Amino acid sequence: MSETPAPPKTLAATTRHLVQLALRVYLLCLAPITYFQRSLIYHPNRCERLLASNANLSLAVAEVTVRTHDGLNLHGWLTLMGTSRGSDPVDAKQVLANGHPVVLYFPGNAGDRSRRVPQFEALGSLNAHVLLVDYRGYGDNPGKPSEASFAKDARSIWNHLAQELGVPPERIVIYGESLGGGVATRLASELCQEGIEPGGLICQSTFSSLVAVAQVHFPVVPVSWLLVDRYPSDQRITKVTCPVLQIHGQQDSIVPFSIGEKLFDAAPPNSSQGIAKQQIVMPHTDHNDVYSESSDHDKLINGLKGFLDAVDDRSKSKVKPETNTLPLTIDPTKDETQFINIDWTVVGAILLIALAIVLWWFSRSPKVKP
């Protein structure tokens, strides 16, 4: 007895089959993107050791090591304004005690502190000391990058600057470049909510949220569902009570100017002292050339000078640290992220694969019985 031939597929059935196939392929492609998303976000430059003696800087550079909440040693450099490189050692704590703002610098998602020489030099020329401790997993530092770990490390660095080096909060300007703007904004927000007001917050070439940037660069990927490290700075900056300065290039091809504008719009119009938020718009500047010599360079330097000089003036008029009853440090173990020990990149990838398998199972053509 011959088998009954299967009826020919209709156009609707063929279309449905193709759509299901395309959906399965799409989901399977999303799985590795979800699993490896941190490799797409963080681009560290790794090396065995970055010594201050090898720094290509005209300023004196002090080595700084910060102990994290989980026992890692993070290395960084502290450049000291008013000094020059020489054979005589410099007492960093003594130089810092002489005054002037200290810029606590959080860099972007690529490279290491040796790639920020122009920033060290420019800020030093504006009478500011600069502390840059590389993120975990960057430069010569151990560990793996993530938003939650960066936030805890930022608190540890702040505590080191305030306690070990004795710099009062009103002299510390938190500076975030690109992805570092997410780290800086979160730290400033948490400090202000705990009654510790920094001298200021500077956001350079940064975003309202990492989700907004990812949607620009990956428009076909549902990043709002899949992204683990989200850096929602537009939500956090609303709690910042210190003076705010934003720097952004209108030709920015990585973090579009419009996304930076959303962050600036979300910031409070005035600080707790009534100081209006400020913005340096650089019409001819892209993302990575903010400190390069260009037609916008003088505008950048003049804007930074005015902001840092104002921080310096306010810190000199403030009560002495010994009469200040406000706390100076923040708990490095505190974290607003729930389920911090779960690796959501793995969970997301597994769920996507499972969904693809389920779709395949239910879309199989039934066997024709003889």
The answer to whether residues 279 and 246 touch, using CB atoms and an 8 Å cutoff, is yes
What is the structure's pLDDT at 85?
A: 82
- By percentage, how much of the chain surpasses pLDDT 70? 78
The three-state secondary structure class of 143 is coil
Q: Which of 67-76, 317-326, 336-345, 346-355 has the lowest mean pLDDT?
A: 336-345
HSE of 193, CA atoms in CB hemisphere, 13 A: 13
Domains and CATH numbers, the chain: 45-336 (3.40.50.1820)
What is the structure's pLDDT at 363?
A: 58
Q: Per DSSP, which regions of 207-361 are E strands?
A: 244-249, 278-282
- Selection from 256, 305, 311 nearest residue 280 by Cα: 305
Q: What is the DSSP annotation of 247-292?
A: EEETT-SSS-HHHHHHHHHHS-SB-TTSPBPEEEEETT--SS-TTS
Query: Highest mean pLDDT: which of 52-56, 158-162, 223-227?
Result: 158-162
User: Which comes out higher in pLDDT, residue 226 or 144?
Assistant: 144
- Selection from 297, 328, 288 nearest residue 196 by Cα: 328
281-303 pLDDT, tens digit per residue, is 999 999 999 999 889 999 999 99
C-alpha gyration radius of the chain: 25
59-94 pLDDT, tens digit per residue, is 999 999 999 999 999 999 999 998 888 756 778 889
The torsion defined by the Cα of 344, 345, 351 and 355, in degrees rounded to 10, comes to: 150
| Distance from C-alpha of 109 to C-alpha of 86, rounded to nearest angstrom | 32
Looking up tokens 């600057």 gives: 161
Going by the DSSP 8-state scheme, the letter that residue 272 receives in this structure is T
The answer to whether residues 75 and 46 touch, using CB atoms and an 8 Å cutoff, is no
Query: Highest mean pLDDT: which of 88-102, 248-262, 330-344?
Result: 248-262
What is the structure's pLDDT at 353?
A: 62
239 Cβ contact partners less than 8 Å away, ≥ 6 residues apart = 189, 192, 193
What is the structure's pLDDT at 8?
A: 63
| Distance from C-alpha of 314 to C-alpha of 328, rounded to nearest angstrom | 17
* 318 torsion bin: left (phi>0), alpha (psi -120 to 50), beta (else): beta
- Selection from 203, 191, 221 nearest residue 290 by Cα: 203
Tokens of 181: 């703007």
- Selection from 169, 116, 111 nearest residue 145 by Cα: 111
Beta-strand pair 110-111/172-177: unpaired
112-143 pLDDT, tens digit per residue, is 999 999 999 999 999 999 999 999 999 999 99
